[in-house]
Copies of this chain bind each other. A is one copy, B any other.
Amino acid sequence: MDINFFMPTKVVQGKNCIEINVDLFRSFGTKALIVTGKNSARLNGSQRDITKALDIVGISYTIFDKVMSNPTVDCVFEGAELAKEQEVDFIIGIGGGSPMDAAKAIALLATQNITEEDLFQGKYETKALPLVMVPTTAGTGSEVTQYSILTNDRAKTKQSIATSVLFPKLSFLDAKYMKDLSMEITINTALDALSHSIEGMLSIRSTDLTDSLAVESILKLSDSLSVLKKAKEEQSPQIPEKVREQLLYGSMLAGIVIAHTGTTAVHSMGYSLTYFRNIDHGRANALLLPGFLKFIEKSDFAKVKTILTAMKLNSNDELDILFHELLGERETLTPEEIKKFSGIAIQAKNIQNSKIIPTQNDLEALYTQSLS
Which residues on A are within 8 Å of B, measured CB to CB? 1-15, 27, 126, 173, 175, 208-209, 212-213, 215-216, 220, 242, 245-246, 249, 252-253
Identify A2's interface contact among B2, B13, B242, CB under 8 A: B13
Knowing A10-B6, A11-B6 touch, does A1 contact B245 (C-beta < 8 A)? yes
A13 to B2, CA, bound (A): 5
In the assembled complex, how far is the CB of residue A8 from the closest CB belonging to chain B, in whole angstroms? 4
Residue in chain B with minimal CB distance to A17: B2
Query: Which of chain B's residues have a CB closer than 8 A to the CB of A8?
Result: 8, 10
Identify A5's interface contact among B10, B209, B212, CB under 8 A: B10
Query: Which of chain B's residues have a CB closer than 8 A to the CB of A4?
Result: 10-13
Query: Which of chain B's residues have a CB closer than 8 A to the CB of A253?
Result: 209
In the assembled complex, how far is the CB of residue A225 from the closest CB belonging to chain B, in whole angstroms? 17
Query: Which of chain B's residues have a CB closer than 8 A to the CB of A245?
Result: 1
In the assembled complex, how far is the CB of residue A262 from the closest CB belonging to chain B, in whole angstroms? 17
Residue in chain B with minimal CB distance to A215: B212
Query: Which of chain B's residues have a CB closer than 8 A to the CB of A27?
Result: 126
Residue in chain B with minimal CB distance to A27: B126
Residue in chain B with minimal CB distance to A167: B8
A208 to B250, CA, bound (A): 10
In the assembled complex, how far is the CB of residue A253 from the closest CB belonging to chain B, in whole angstroms? 7
Query: Which of chain B's residues have a CB closer than 8 A to the CB of A216?
Result: 208-209, 212
In the assembled complex, how far is the CB of residue A316 from the closest CB belonging to chain B, in whole angstroms? 25
Q: Cβ of B3 and Cβ of A173 under 8 Å apart?
A: yes
Identify A3's interface contact among B1, B2, B13, B209, CB under 8 A: B13
Residue in chain B with minimal CB distance to A14: B2
Q: Cβ of B246 and Cβ of A1 under 8 Å apart?
A: yes
Query: Which of chain B's residues have a CB closer than 8 A to the CB of A10?
Result: 4-6, 8
Query: Which of chain B's residues have a CB closer than 8 A to the CB of A212?
Result: 212-213, 215-216
21 examples of A-B residue contacts, CB within 8 angstroms: A1-B13, A1-B175, A1-B245, A1-B246, A2-B13, A2-B14, A3-B11, A3-B14, A3-B173, A3-B249, A4-B10, A4-B11, A4-B12, A4-B13, A5-B11, A7-B7, A27-B126, A208-B216, A208-B249, A209-B216, A212-B215
A220 to B208, CA, bound (A): 10
Identify A1's interface contact among B7, B14, B208, B215, CB under 8 A: B14
Closest 10 CB pairs of A and B: A8-B8, A2-B14, A212-B216, A3-B13, A1-B245, A5-B11, A6-B10, A4-B12, A1-B249, A3-B249
Query: Which of chain B's residues have a CB closer than 8 A to the CB of A6?
Result: 9-11
Residue in chain B with minimal CB distance to A217: B212
Residue in chain B with minimal CB distance to A144: B5
Residue in chain B with minimal CB distance to A244: B1
Query: Which of chain B's residues have a CB closer than 8 A to the CB of A249?
Result: 1, 3, 208-209
Residue in chain B with minimal CB distance to A15: B2
Query: Which of chain B's residues have a CB closer than 8 A to the CB of A13?
Result: 1-4
Query: Which of chain B's residues have a CB closer than 8 A to the CB of A252?
Result: 3
Q: Cβ of A1 and Cβ of B242 under 8 Å apart?
A: yes
In the assembled complex, how far is the CB of residue A369 from the closest CB belonging to chain B, in whole angstroms? 34
A11 to B9, CA, bound (A): 14
In the assembled complex, how far is the CB of residue A190 from the closest CB belonging to chain B, in whole angstroms? 16
A253 to B7, CA, bound (A): 14
In the assembled complex, how far is the CB of residue A133 from the closest CB belonging to chain B, in whole angstroms? 14
In the assembled complex, how far is the CB of residue A289 from the closest CB belonging to chain B, in whole angstroms? 23
In the assembled complex, how far is the CB of residue A148 from the closest CB belonging to chain B, in whole angstroms? 20
